Structure 1
């Protein structure tokens, strides 16, 4: 029994037997951005750090939030240097701004890049001795648990796809205190932004991830239980509803900026997906990293687009591990699977995803994004929760299969 007790930080070789659910508080409604001043006061904010990017700083979503802070006489400092698809350097700059000003509350206004950068600023400024890689998941970083107290964070989401207003970048302690989902903030979202954020497939990944009670190893201390725990009954509920809504509304939302019902529904679908995959996690998606030192000679690929281009190949590969799940996912996305066989599950889900990609004119394959086979080694992989074991050759095939 010694290996089951161990010391803090050791792990048991046994399978996991539990999962934990964590989620930000969510406020939804047309115009609720106008309440952020009072929200800051109610959370005790007297010195607020406002984070956004230079493009959003010109738009009504940021102007409305700043007016709300001014109306409530909230003291704040404004940071609009967040980079779209952040780098280590952009994270460090945002963190240094927070350390310098010692904020007691953070307000992020933007999509996943802004919200996640603000989470990092909160995390590292509240533990100024930490190195940047201390909390980054292994094998890249040390994967240390977050044991110190963070400041409140309010996340006003301005896209419908990432679900960042509900998630914690791999650690539940980093998630926002309050996520604000205001349909007014996506009324003027451009067509391609709507498509590339809405097509984010993390809901599909969490639904087809290894079940939580099949994941190993079981942590000795519950504080070491990861945020991404595998598919589980509660995440499934949120993910299933998100997939149904995406199937119904994404095409309308992309092509009709005035379709308030569709865009509002996609905003909620993103939030639902965030609750689901923020606890279940992702698996074999490939983020086309801007890893050539962000060389302008290489294409800038939005996050949602980077994860969808490999999805048909990935789900074709993972389907044999849980064909029923893959067929159910295809059904949730609008495909009639009543006469489909288990051995066809991968192809069925792949074709379903391709159909949606075609409907909203999303590129299919790396070549259409300006990459080729020589770039494959530079792609970042998240594989721990994949339902099927894989070799390096399998991983390469998932990529080369779409080139």
Structure 2
């Protein structure tokens, strides 16, 4: 009986296997030896053998498009006065030694007073590092890391703007992995681009500006001085444990800082909204650990990005115009956080990629309203100055999305042709930027000229992490990409 049973079942299994192979052949034509060879018109034993060999061949993931996206963001607590809870947070975590990270200006503000009182109230030991540099350089980041290691903290607390929060992320990373080389985790091709293999110490972020959204993201940006370029590290394990988003902490922001920080929110939302879809990104990761933080536009990030864009258009002019408009300030702080969730997963593209050499190659510009001794192009300014040129260029990639963005600026798009989407959004952006006042109307106002374009292009090329998400950019052809970038920088000289 067992023999006859096995005889009956064997043909059934063979038939099922053959049917499966045939299904694979018809649903995946490029891998089918029959349909890729005109001489084959049957599915005999030779074809089945070839199909089996094709199935056994390892997949070339570098040529495979992505098929999934992930949603990662820090926990967020939002509300006026919630900064005072931070000591309880660290007690709940069981933290014993907290490294508080800030800068010299923020240390004097009420946010730091609330933090210190909260830690002392709960009996949490802490040490303060207040030498964070605005727009950090690799040297200032390394100084901060070295200051952190001897204290041997088991948790970090960042109080300040994006520069402070980003620096704290890097202090946390290299304190957790003290033997790592600095370039190990830095984005390729400027660094080795290794993924962060495990979770870091707890990090609580208390933003005092409404712009970077760094309290939600796994990204930290700094200047790599030797390369005259901005770069950074991006990985989900870098994100803060929780962001304490307290509107009371942004009331001391000067008008110029409100403006430049808000421009960062504007471009975060626009770039993540218009980035290539996640399913068009290559390569597909072989391991989910290698899936990048910046994945391309996806249905979840879209919700956050579009909401942040609409709120920025509505509330940023009010926040800049009237320092006592606390409603507008609160809405902008929330918009920054929303945009952080959006771009922290979808990514940014050309405005940010081009902004890094603009900041790094500053010819001597000092932005009005910033109380600093050295020349500075605030990050939001360096990002927004190319925006009219960028979105005119990307308009053809997805006209519908560009028109939806233009509609957020109040444009009546009912009779606008699809081929005009980029131009319409570009004009709306330019009008919005001019309306804010005290904004450079192109790279010329920052001190750049046509003679600087080639250097700016070369400083942008290494920003592969964000350029790969840029619609309409020829990233597979370096010379074509250079020409496109050259045209973009030339068009961004003035508007």
Where on the TM-score scale, by shorter chain, does this alignment land: which range? over 0.9
Indicate which of 446, 468, 473 corresponds to 1:389. Answer: 473
Q: CA deviation at 1:3?
A: 5.9
The alignment status of 1:22 with 2:86, answered yes or no, reads: no
The alignment status of 1:299 with 2:371, answered yes or no, reads: no
CA distance in 1, matches of 2:365, 2:300: 42
Q: CA deviation at 1:223?
A: 1.1
CA RMSD of aligned residues (A): 1.8
Unaligned runs of 5+ in 2: 1-54, 220-233, 367-373, 475-480
Q: Contact 1:166–1:179 (CA<8 Å) still a contact in 2? A: yes
Q: Contact 2:362–2:375 (CA<8 Å) still a contact in 1? A: no
The alignment status of 1:188 with 2:264, answered yes or no, reads: no
- Aligned counterpart, 2:83: 33
Which one scores higher on RCO, CA 8 angstroms, separation ≥ 6?
1
Structure with the larger helix share: 2
TM-score, length-scaled by structure 2: 0.78
CA distance in 2, matches of 1:176, 1:333: 32
Q: Contact 2:364–2:447 (CA<8 Å) still a contact in 1? A: no
Larger radius of gyration: 2
- Aligned counterpart, 2:45: none
Which is worse superposed, 153-162 or 38-47? 38-47
The alignment status of 1:315 with 2:391, answered yes or no, reads: yes
- Aligned counterpart, 2:8: none
- Aligned counterpart, 2:148: 98
CA distance in 2, matches of 1:126, 1:374: 44
CA distance in 1, matches of 2:102, 2:85: 18
CA distance in 2, matches of 1:274, 1:85: 18
Change in 2 beyond 3 A, CA 1:152/1:294? farther
CA distance in 1, matches of 2:364, 2:146: 24
Q: CA deviation at 1:12?
A: 3.9
Q: CA deviation at 1:5?
A: 5.3
What whole-Å deviation, never above 9, does each CA across 1:60-91 have from its counterpart, x for those lacking one?
Answer: 11122112112222100100000000000011
How do residues 38-117 of structure 1 correspond to structure 2 at under 5 angstroms?
38-117=88-167
- Aligned counterpart, 2:491: 401
The alignment status of 1:234 with 2:311, answered yes or no, reads: no
TM-score, length-scaled by structure 1: 0.95
The alignment status of 1:345 with 2:413, answered yes or no, reads: no
Give the SS at the match of 2:467. coil
CA distance in 2, matches of 1:3, 1:45: 50
Q: CA deviation at 1:288?
A: 4.4
How do residues 368-387 of structure 1 correspond to structure 2 at under 5 angstroms?
368-376=445-453, 377-378=455-456, 379-380=459-460, 381=463, 382-387=466-471
Give the SS at the match of 1:108. strand
What whole-Å deviation, never above 9, does each CA across 1:173-206 have from its counterpart, x for those lacking one?
Answer: 1000000110000112100000000011111001
- Aligned counterpart, 1:258: 324
Residues paired across the two proteins, number? 399
Indicate which of 441, 444, 457 corresponds to 1:367. Answer: 444
Q: Contact 2:218–2:236 (CA<8 Å) still a contact in 1? A: yes
The alignment status of 1:198 with 2:248, answered yes or no, reads: no
CA distance in 2, matches of 1:233, 1:277: 12
Which is worse superposed, 229-238 or 218-227? 218-227
Q: Contact 1:215–1:229 (CA<8 Å) still a contact in 2? A: yes
Give the SS at the match of 1:155. strand
Unaligned runs of 5+ in 1: none
